Amino acid sequence: MIEIQACLICPFKSTAAKVLSDDELTLMGDNCAQATFKKSNTIFKQGIFSSNIVYLKQGIVQLHIEGPTNEQIIKIAKGPTYLGIPTTLDEKYNRYSATALTEVHACFINISTFKTFVQENGQFAYEIILDLCKNEVNLFNKCVNRVQKHIRGRVAEAILFFAHEIYETDSFDLPLTRSEFGNFVASTRETISRIMTELHSEKIILLKGKHITILDSKRLHLISRSG
């Protein structure tokens, strides 16, 4: 279902959108549509013409790329956050895909409207840049860790990521299958399976299917750090 959005009264405004004037927010609302996606629906797809800035209001999504051999999950993001600024502003076609991992509410903002704000409202542009900077630094770290840590460390890091960044609790349901988890940490479903049961029998986590409870956060951090 698509509906016109009243950005002015949106409770999920981005930090950047908060600096827009009422007039600008009204203009944004006129050039923006919200849509709801069910779990595992595609929000936008690699290779397809990109025509909107996508803003994730609520929900969890995975950003992923079809690599030379495998599907690779680049990032898992939770709303509210922008989803596809790099793939939209710079590129004619999406360079990666976004898929809903939970029910998702997302807004599609007209590119030229977005560009106008960037060009005419310095504060808005600054907030967007800040966001992109944080993202880049974050991904640099993830990149180094993916290459240099052993899988045990990468799995531990991923579990801590879900606990701290996504769910903000030590007990949660993984939104990924083992094989997707493998894609996320650059490994395979078999290895993930083994490491997880290992961590379970070492009483570091409690594992029941997709449900994970962190029992020994200290040791998990240790494993994550020492790789």
Partner DNA sequence: GCATTAACCACAG
Partner DNA sequence: CTGTGGTTAATGC
Give the binding site for DNA (CB under 7 A).
150-152, 177-179, 186-191, 193-194, 196-197, 207, 209-210
Quote the least distance from Cβ 37 to DNA, whole Å. 19
- How far apart are the C-alpha atoms of 177 and 67, rounded to whole Å? 19
Considering the complex, state which of residue 56 and residue 156 has its C-beta at the smaller distance from DNA.
156
- How far apart are the C-alpha atoms of 210 and 88, rounded to whole Å? 34
Quote the least distance from Cβ 95 to DNA, whole Å. 24
Considering the complex, state which of residue 131 and residue 198 has its C-beta at the smaller distance from DNA.
198
Quote the least distance from Cβ 150 to DNA, whole Å. 3
Q: In terms of C-beta density within 10 A (0-12 exposed, 13-18 middle, 19 or more buried), how is residue 191 classed?
A: middle
| Residues pairing with 169 in the sheet | none
The upper half-sphere exposure of residue 142, i.e. CA atoms within 13 Å in the direction of its Cβ, equals 16
The total of other beta-carbon atoms located within 10 Å of residue 197's CB is 12
Considering the complex, state which of residue 83 and residue 220 has its C-beta at the smaller distance from DNA.
220
- How far apart are the C-alpha atoms of 26 and 138, rounded to whole Å? 33
Tell me the Ramachandran region of residue 132: left when phi exceeds 0, alpha when psi lies from -120 to 50, beta otherwise.
alpha
- How far apart are the C-alpha atoms of 72 and 65, rounded to whole Å? 5
Quote the least distance from Cβ 194 to DNA, whole Å. 6
Considering the complex, state which of residue 95 and residue 194 has its C-beta at the smaller distance from DNA.
194
Quote the least distance from Cβ 98 to DNA, whole Å. 19
Quote the least distance from Cβ 4 to DNA, whole Å. 36
- How far apart are the C-alpha atoms of 57 and 35, rounded to whole Å? 10
Considering the complex, state which of residue 24 and residue 180 has its C-beta at the smaller distance from DNA.
180
| CA neighbor of 205 nearest in space, from 168, 166, 174, 226 | 174
Considering the complex, state which of residue 178 and residue 219 has its C-beta at the smaller distance from DNA.
178
Q: What is residue 212's three-state secondary structure?
A: strand
